[in-house]
Amino acid sequence: MTALTWVIVGVGALFVLAAAYWRLTEREEIRRGADAFRFRFFRVWFPLVIGIAALGQVPQAMSAPFPVVALLEVLSLAPAVIVVVLGQAAAKRSGPGARTTTAPDGAGNNGESG
């Protein structure tokens, strides 16, 4: 069980490092025309939050006392809540009709046939 816990901690550390790298390269991507909010959510915040949740396994891997492990298990729920909130914000920001490729005409048709 300890080996698997250390693997989870290692993957969490990789997620945090990847989020830091993507945060540093974010400005160049946005300069080239990428959507800033979508880029930031999927390439920066999502891996960072998942990595922090995985790093919550460190006390268990180090055989810490039960109260410490229990406390960090409860705190690992916070990143899950953050992911849900950010996901809802991304869905709200895209809004209805975000998947259409043409603008609606005067009659309200969005250019799709059928």
pLDDT digits (tens, 9 = 90+) for 5-15: 889 889 999 99
Asked if the structure places residue 59 within a domain, the reply is yes
| Spatial distance between the Cα atoms of 44 and 24, rounded to a whole number of angstroms | 10
110: pLDDT strictly greater than 80: no
How many folded domains does the chain comprise? Answer: 1
Asked if the structure places residue 62 within a domain, the reply is yes
72: pLDDT strictly greater than 90: no
Asked if the structure places residue 33 within a domain, the reply is yes
pTM: 0.59
Inter-axis angle of helices 77-94 and 46-55, nearest 10: 170
Asked if the structure places residue 88 within a domain, the reply is no
Q: Which domain holds residue 12?
A: 2-76
pLDDT score at 40: 67
Asked if the structure places residue 99 within a domain, the reply is no
> What percent of the chain is predicted at pLDDT more than 90?
6
Asked if the structure places residue 108 within a domain, the reply is no
Phi (first) and psi of residue 71, to 5 degrees: -60, -45
CA atoms within 13 A on the CB side of 12: 18
* Average pLDDT of the chain, as a whole number: 76
- What end-to-end distance do the CA atoms of the chain give, in Å? 56
Asked if the structure places residue 71 within a domain, the reply is yes
pLDDT digits (tens, 9 = 90+) for 35-70: 666 666 677 777 888 888 888 888 888 888 998 888
Asked if the structure places residue 68 within a domain, the reply is yes
Q: Which of 51, 46, 25 is nearest to 90 (CA)?
A: 46
Q: CA dist 50 to 42, 71, 83, 84, Å?
A: 11, 18, 8, 12
